[in-house]
Amino acid sequence: MYELLQHLINGLAAGTIYALVALGYTMVYGVLKLINFAHGDVMMVGVYVGYAVAFLLGRDAASVAGALTVFTVAMLACALIGFAVERFAYRPLREKPRLTALITAIGISFALSYGFQLDLSVTAFGREWTVLPGAASKRFPDIIKAQRWASVGEPAPADPDHPEAGPGGVCLRFGEDEQASGCDDVILWNWQVIGFGIALALMVALQVLVYRTRFGKAMRAVSYDHRVAALLGVPVDRVIALTFMLGSALAACAGILFALKDKTIQPLMGLYVGLKAFIAAVIGGIGNLPGAVVGALLLGLCEEFIVGYTSSSWRDAVAFGFLIVVLLVRPEGLFGRAQAEKV
């Protein structure tokens, strides 16, 4: 029972992170009909930017202001990268066959994820600056100090601090630090709660943006038919660029939450998180925002349960297996609408 609950919490926590990345995929697919293969790798770059900022801030990074700075700078940097990728790689190919853009996207993904595995440092201003981090995984700084937000479990048999809870009872504690002993059958970490909060807030904001603002209306118009939208005065290029920036910023945020969860970062992290987020978007019905969130939560839970009850070496097969089943049974996704092919 405790185990099930713990897996449920972990699965949902992982799912929210996938959801933030999946939203970027789904938005870009919505306006461009392109699978932005490099999305996960843009996320990875954002995480490294966050890492650099946290490193420069030093001990200040663990404060609320510090954590906010890390998130903001990483999101801004990612928005810029997203803009650059769209402007220089995808825009020139927009009227070309879709395969061309897909190959380009794969190329960018490769260049980023393997480019970051190189070691490169430059000496300037009297010290050495790391330009490319190298393949070794790095420990992400604790910008949010890990704490047990809540924990449930059976108390340790002889617990002198809590004599009131005898063996066999259930204890529930709040706000203990990482090393606390006993009462640890189910732990809800503070970063899980914070991640959940951030993800939820961003999703609501996105929903409002897409369905309640002029920009959102323009986005939906471009998604429906970008040529007609252009005829009606929608600045298509600007809308697509902004969509890319928005998606990339969400990915940066997700990436840092992911780094807080896993504690370590490495250049290939983007490849797998990106693929899984894409799978989540497809499961929900690509182009559909709530669908992406539901798909991501489902995928997070599925992965956690299979890893929890079998072996962690199966983790990467779960998502792909799930994808194949969904595509076979319902290729338009859970919430997507099947589209007739136009000739």
Structure tokens at 151: 């924990």
100 exposed, middle or buried (CB, 10 Å; 0-12, 13-18, 19+)?
middle
- Choosing from 6, 69, 109, 266, the residue that interacts with another protein (CB under 8 A) is 109
**Binding residues among 70-89 for another protein as defined by CB under 8 A:** 89
Single residue of 53, 61, 74, 275 touching another protein by CB under 8 A: 275
Report residue 16 as tokens: 């929210």
Q: Which of 52, 80, 102, 194 binds another protein (CB under 8 A)?
A: 102
3-class state of residue 125 by DSSP: coil
**Nearest one of 2, 80, 59, 10 to 251, comparing CA atoms:** 80
Question: What are the φ/ψ torsions at residue 187 (nearest 5 degrees)?
Answer: -120, 130
Residue 100 contacts another protein per CB under 8 A: yes
- Residue 60: CB atoms within 10 A of its CB come to 13
* 282 binds another protein, rule: CB under 8 A: yes
114 binds another protein (CB under 8 A): yes
Residue 180 φ then ψ, to 5°: -55, 145
3-state SS, residue 237: helix
Asked if residue 35 binds another protein (CB under 8 A), the reply is yes
Does 104 bind another protein (CB under 8 A)? Our answer is yes
Pick between residue 111 and residue 170 the one whose CB is nearest to another protein.
111
Region 297-326 residues binding another protein, contact defined as CB under 8 A: 311, 313-314, 316-317, 319-321, 323-324
Instruction: Evaluate whether 211 touches 259 at the Cβ level (below 8 Å).
Output: no
- By CB under 8 A, tell whether 331 contacts another protein: yes
- With H, G, I as helix, E, B as strand and everything else as coil, classify residue 46: helix
Contact positions vs another protein (CB under 8 A): 34-35, 89, 92-93, 96, 98-104, 106-112, 114-115, 117-118, 135, 271, 275, 278-279, 282, 311, 313-314, 316-317, 319-321, 323-324, 327-328, 331, 341, 343
